[in-house]
Amino acid sequence: MKLLVPITLALVALLHALPLAGVLGAAKLSVLYGVDAREPGLELLLRHRAVLFGLLAAFLAWAAWQPALRGPAL
């Protein structure tokens, strides 16, 4: 039971890290989201979304090993 929260946070961090691959370009965004991301505005928006999800994933992974951060992470 003691490891339930850290393991759950780590799994959620992995889930949120998946869109981070979208930073690599429009082709990867098209594969991830199933939309044509060649329009510059849409590509920028989806890449920004990927970066934000990556930052959230990093914070959740950090919180999995730092008990003081678990409250804000939840």
Read off φ and ψ for residue 34, nearest 5 degrees: 70, 25
- Contact at 8 Å (CB) between 46 and 29? yes
8 Å CB contact between 24 and 64: no
Per-residue pLDDT, 65: 94
Residues 1-60: tens digit of each pLDDT: 789 999 999 999 999 999 999 999 888 999 988 888 889 999 999 999 999 999 999 999
- The residue ranges of every structural domain in the chain are 4-68
Q: How many residues belong to the chain?
A: 74
For 59, the enclosing helix (H) or strand (E) is helix 40-65
How far is the CA of 55 from the CAs of 13, 25, 59, in angstroms?
10, 18, 6
